[in-house]
Structure formats: structure tokens, C-alpha cells
Amino acid sequence: MLGNQLTFRNNSISAQVYTMLKKQILEGNLQPGERLIVLEIAGRFQISQAPVREALERLKQEGLIVGQPNKGSVVSNITSKEIRDIFVLREIIEGFAVRESMPHLDKDDFRYLETLLDEMDEAAHQDDMLKILERDMEFHGFFYKRCNNHAILELWNHMRSKVMRFMAISNRYYSTQKLAAYHRPLIEVLKSGDSAEAERQFIDHMKSYKVIHLD
Amino acid sequence: MLGNQLTFRNNSISAQVYTMLKKQILEGNLQPGERLIVLEIAGRFQISQAPVREALERLKQEGLIVGQPNKGSVVSNITSKEIRDIFVLREIIEGFAVRESMPHLDKDDFRYLETLLDEMDEAAHQDDMLKILERDMEFHGFFYKRCNNHAILELWNHMRSKVMRFMAISNRYYSTQKLAAYHRPLIEVLKSGDSAEAERQFIDHMKSYKVIHLD
DNA sequence: ATAATATCGATTATCGATAATGTCTCCCAA
DNA sequence: TTGGGAGACATTATCGATAATCGATATTAT
């Protein structure tokens, strides 16, 4: 089920377990409802329970797994209501993030964003759903990083896991072929410098996401 | 330093340690920079390291403590930039939360909010700073709970720890005597049912907080 | 037959000990 | 004088074992 091996390079064992489990969950290899049993995981990687417990604790905090005391953990389910809530929140926040970051954007930034879209197209060509998603997250995350508000960046990191996971689970892959194309106009309006219009377009973009993924 | 005893009632040991440490941090009894040493805490409560480590892990996730690997944990510092960021975020979110919850408010809700303000006044009379803060958080939290958006509620819970902690640490207690009075007009506008005006007033309220606490 | 209780297997929660890591001091040599 | 390395110490990270808990099933009493 989890084929990978731990590499034991720089990080602590618990960090490696955490990273590996998170990856499996985000990519949908570990399905909602699937149980995560401490001794079993520890046995598979030839490690003791402690680091596994620590990794699970972190995942629990992030909401990727849930568990009642003395009853173990399962990969959490993610309802479309939850995702809808997140998209509503994004509508509110992302406009702000774009507006705030715009004044600081330069040519390199635009080039970077365009690179992301190119890679998205490339990934679409290879039907690499995960890569498409990652680039999409990176594109939007860019503004959260640049809006100079740590609370908002933190919020984004939290939302991102859930959004990625939902997209990876829900098999609504249609339209991801055209995802890059949907984004290109956004770069244009950013270049124009009209921040009110940019904010409006990002919000519309957000709304169309909701339609694509939730209706 | 930590006088309390664990009660060993319903909850797991780790949950009790977590609750107790969190309380100490939020109330400012554990100051930023203070070290949290696993063996020392375990020794004080006559328990082993495991539950302490688990509690610290949770606090770390919440941002109440920070620590580098192999170097232990200290109570995190909280900068006024961070708080400012949070207040900016609240300005954006709280208006929405109020607007969304307004249609569902009834007489009991208004009464409840008024009770909170009464208790706030009472606490001010007793110079019970902590109680004032708790009621303030409860007042604002009310709308996050009622806006029917789980992501926003979660966000609030996260912000709340930091706000409470900052207020408990910063010794800017002035004006808390009048805090309830500042809130009463908000209830009036809620009763009026004019949601655009309510949103506006809550945002203003937010802005005046910023002034009070950060300038 | 049914309800209450005892037992069992699986798993988590907790324990106490050992290994690994980082920090500090002190000593010595360049 | 100073820089750097050997230890000593403090602390975390990891370990493997035991205790506590849960759900299911078997057993007993009525």
C-alpha cells in the first residue's frame, strides 16, 4: 500500500514519516476512511512507535486525519461543504492578497508566473494531474506569500492541503486541460496595474473554480 | 512557576498537560522565551515524557511555542507585526461573518450578547483582565460560529489564541474599563437588521482595536 | 431467550531507558 | 591572543515494553 522507503538523510525520522504520509494523503493514495495503525506503520519502516505517533499528531492538527482517543486514526473525509466554505473564504481573502501584492510585482515575477502556467500546460499534456495541481497551488500561493501578511500566508498553507486533497480525490479532472489558459488573462491584468480590476478578475476566477469543482 | 496539579479525571494525561500549558501561556504566566523542558515538566507532574512531548507538539502546531529540532521549545514571542496582520485579516473576515450571521439572529442571541457585555462590565469592576478578554473573544467569536462556514470558524479559533495572548502580555490595559460600552452600539445595529451598516460598524470597531492596541 | 457481565484480541497511551545531538567550558597549540 | 578540539553536561529523539482502553464475542444468570 505504501511502497516507499524512508531515506534517513537530513531530517528526523518523525519528520520523514510525516512528510511521507502527508504526501500519500494529498495525492489520494491513502483514501478517506483508511486506518493508520501506529504499530503497523512503525513495523513497516522498522522504527519504533514514538516518531509515528508524532507524525500522526501533526497530521491530526492539520485536519488530514481524524481520531478519537483510544480509537486510533483514519484519513479524514472531506465534504464538499468544507471545500465550498474554503472557496468562499478564498473569495474574500485572495482579492485582498492580490491587491496588496500588486504594487511590488516586477518583471521577474510575471515571468515566474508565466513559467508556472507553461509547466501547467506541459503537465496537462502528460496527463500529470498532480503536477497541474501543484502549479495551480503555487500560482495562487504566490500572492499569499507576497501580500506581506503572515497570518494570511499561514491561512493559505492550511487551506491548500485541503484543496489539493479534495481535487486529488474528486475525479473531476475535466477542464484541467484548459487550466493554464484560464490563468493567462490574470497575468495580463496584473501587468496592466489596475488593481481594482485585478481583484475583480481574481474573484471571478475563484467563483468559476467553485462552479467547476462543486456543482 | 506552574503551581497547579493534574487532576486525572476524564481526559488523557497528554490532554491535561496540553490544556494546562496552554492556559498558562494564554494567561501570560509563561512568558515568551521561557523554555519548556520535557523532563522537567514530566518530573513535576510525575509522568513520563511521552504525554509531555505530545502536548508540546500540539502547542507547537498552534504556534504558541516554537522550537528547532534537537534544541527544545520556548514559548513563542509574538510581535506587534503579527498582531497587526491578524487584525487586518479580522477586518476582512469579521465583516463577512457578521453579515452572514445576521439573518439568523433572534432575541435570545441578542440577550446572550448583552449578557456577555454585562459580565464584561462586572469583570472590569473587579479588574479581572482575563475575564474581560474572554468575554470579548466570546462576543466576536459568536459571529464566526454563526456564519455557517467551518473554515472561518477554524480560522477564528486559531487567531483567537494569538490575540488573547498578545493582550494578556502587552500591558495596555487602559480602555478595557470601557470595553463593554464600545460594544453596546454593535448590538443595536444588529437589532436594526441593516446588515450593510452592521458590517461597516464592525469594521470600524476592528480598526479602533488596532489603534488601541497597536499604536 | 435475554440482559448483564466476563474474557479476548487489537490498538492506543504511557512508561522508563538508551542513543543522538547540541552547548558549553577548558585546555592547548599556533 | 585566539581558535579549535576534547570532553562533560543538558536535552531531545528514539526505542522497546507495559498498562489502559475499546469493541466484539463468549458466558452466565435470570
Q: Tell me the per-residue pLDDT of A81-97, one tens digit each, with 9 for 90 and over.
A: 999 999 999 999 999 99
Task: Identify whether the C-beta of residue B157 lies closer than 8 Å to the C-beta of residue B188.
Answer: no
- B66 falls within a domain: yes
CATH of the domain at A19: 1.10.10.10
Among A8, A10, A9, A37, which Cα is nearest to A21's?
A37
Assess whether B18 and B102 both reside in one domain.
no
Which nt sits closest to B52, CA to C1'?
C14
Q: Which of B59, B75, B91 is the last residue of a domain?
A: B75
CATH of the domain at A206: 1.20.120.530
Among A3, A8, A177, A214, which Cα is nearest to A91's?
A214
Assess whether B65 and B92 both reside in one domain.
no
Q: Is the Cβ pair B12, A88 closer than 8 Å?
A: no
- B3 falls within a domain: no
Assess whether B71 and B86 both reside in one domain.
no
Coil, helix or strand at residue B186: helix
- A203 falls within a domain: yes
Domain containing residue A34: 13-75
Backbone angles phi, psi at A36, to 5 degrees: -115, 110
Assess whether B100 and B156 both reside in one domain.
yes
Assess whether B57 and B106 both reside in one domain.
no
- The pTM for the full model equals 0.91
Assess whether B109 and B68 both reside in one domain.
no
A13 touches B: beta carbon within 8 Å: no
Return the number of other C-beta atoms located less than 10 Å from residue A149's C-beta: 25
How far, in Å, CA of A112 to CA of B162, rounded?
A: 34
Assess whether B100 and B198 both reside in one domain.
yes
Give distance CA B132 / C1' D11 (Å): 39
- What tens digit of pLDDT does each residue of B176-207 get? 888 999 999 999 999 999 999 999 999 999 99
Domain tally, chain A:
2
- A7 falls within a domain: no
Give average pLDDT by consecutive 10-residue segment, chain A, 215 residues. Answer: 53 95 94 96 96 96 95 94 95 96 96 98 92 95 98 97 87 76 96 95 90 73
Give distance CA B9 / C1' D29 (Å): 33
Assess whether A108 and A152 both reside in one domain.
yes
- B26 falls within a domain: yes
Assess whether A37 and A142 both reside in one domain.
no
B85 touches A: beta carbon within 8 Å: yes
